[in-house]
Amino acid sequence: MPELAAGAAVLTAAAAAVGVDAGTPAPLPHAQIHPRIAKKFGQPVSFMSAGTLPRSPRIHEPERTFRGRSSGGNIERVSSNEALIRFKSVKKAFGQKVIYSGLDLEIKAGESLTIIGGSGVGKSVMLKMLIGLLKVDSGSITFHDEDITKMRREELGLVRQRIGMLFQGSALFDSISVGANVAYGLHEHFYKKMNDAEIAERVHWALSLVGLPGIEEMRPADLSGGMKKRVGLARAIAIQPEVILFDEPTTGLDPINTTRINHLITGLKKSLNITTINVTHDMSSAYYISDRLAMVHRGRIIAQGTPDELKAITDPRVADFIHGRAPVNEDVATLLGA
């Protein structure tokens, strides 16, 4: 089976790219961040190269710590048992359509949490609220205990340096090269703070991490779906975030590319110690990449836990979803209203 053998070879190459020899990225331009923002948030966490960083221990080990925001020049050690991100009583509607009637969810530093739920329940809306692309109607969303819902534009800009997002459908700009796409966030966030050589070096580093070194000059139109996702991923990691949001990273991909992306997600998390929030419809991907899952249903989280805990839940709204069964009481009216 040549395809499978080729797929395995690429996977090995991708895994190797995640683990080794991606070079050391240029340090973040800490000193040039606006002093008021730096005072509020501290400097961005420095990002270590995949090549030099030891594999992180399992996230559930209680002694594991995470480098959180600094205060007064000292880096606080935020325990992995504390919430890094906290949605509290969040309400959100579009006109009459209520998306969230009371969203409560905590994400710990270093964990990989997957949001599951039917189409249109508000999974993408949740991620967009987290980075301030959509405003909440009420409630709070904190990142390092700072309320994102109360922030002004420049403060949100800093949050978006620290929380990268791989948008649903990759959202690459077709009219510019792959390299320019990956550099996009660097220009946006580090304008005048990184020179062209530093940006080129960072772009090369990010593309190497996703197993696609040297494709800077290609156009998105020349790439396969799987490669586009990986370039989207390179764009998200180029800014060296603490958290990455993956909105349906494997939707529309064939099984080999799905496996490849899942390996990259778990490899990046282990190598770079990144907290990830994922959205996926694909339960086998969800079980593979997640420490915990949370299910959204009618405006709330109705279940959350480890893969094994979720599998043990008997509530039919959860069990039907995770086992891919249509609910027994689903009728035409329900389907039309969905």
Nearer to Mg ion, 158 or 322 (CB): 322
Nearer to Mg ion, 124 or 290 (CB): 124
Quick one: CA dihedral 312, 315, 316, 321, positive or negative?
A: negative
What 3-state class would DSSP assign to 217?
coil
Nearer to ligand ADP, 242 or 248 (CB): 248
The entry of Mg ion, ligand ADP, none near residue 119 (CB within 5 to 8 angstroms by kind) is: ligand ADP
Yes or no: say if 310 and 293 are a contact pair by the CB < 8 Å rule.
yes
Residue pointed to by tokens 């409560």: 104
The entry of ligand ADP, Mg ion, none near residue 121 (CB within 5 to 8 angstroms by kind) is: ligand ADP
The entry of Mg ion, ligand ADP, none near residue 125 (CB within 5 to 8 angstroms by kind) is: ligand ADP
Alpha-carbon distance of 88 to 101, in angstroms, equals 11
Alpha-carbon distance of 116 to 123, in angstroms, equals 7
The entry of Mg ion, ligand ADP, none near residue 94 (CB within 5 to 8 angstroms by kind) is: ligand ADP
DSSP state of 302: E
- For residue 276, the minimal CB distance to ligand ADP (Å) is 17
170 binds Mg ion (CB under 5 A): no
Phi, psi of 43 (to 5 degrees): -75, 150
Which residues are at the interface with ligand ADP (CB under 6 A)?
Answer: 94, 99, 117, 119-125
The entry of ligand ADP, Mg ion, none near residue 163 (CB within 5 to 8 angstroms by kind) is: none
DSSP state of 333: H
- For residue 229, the minimal CB distance to ligand ADP (Å) is 17
Question: Considering only residues 114, 124, 278, 280, which one is a binding residue for Mg ion as defined by CB under 5 A?
Answer: 124
The entry of Mg ion, ligand ADP, none near residue 99 (CB within 5 to 8 angstroms by kind) is: ligand ADP
- For residue 41, the minimal CB distance to ligand ADP (Å) is 27
A 10 A CB-CB count for 149 gives: 17
Alpha-carbon distance of 296 to 303, in angstroms, equals 8
The entry of Mg ion, ligand ADP, none near residue 74 (CB within 5 to 8 angstroms by kind) is: none
Work out the burial of residue 225: count CB atoms within 10 Å of its CB; fewer than 13 is exposed, 13-18 middle, 19 or more buried. middle
Nearer to Mg ion, 114 or 124 (CB): 124
- For residue 166, the minimal CB distance to Mg ion (Å) is 12
Q: Which three-class secondary structure string do you get for 82-136?
A: CEEEEEEEEEEEECCEEEEEEEEEEEECCCEEEEECCCCCCHHHHHHHHCCCCCC
- For residue 267, the minimal CB distance to ligand ADP (Å) is 25
Where does this chain bind Mg ion (CB under 5 A)? 124
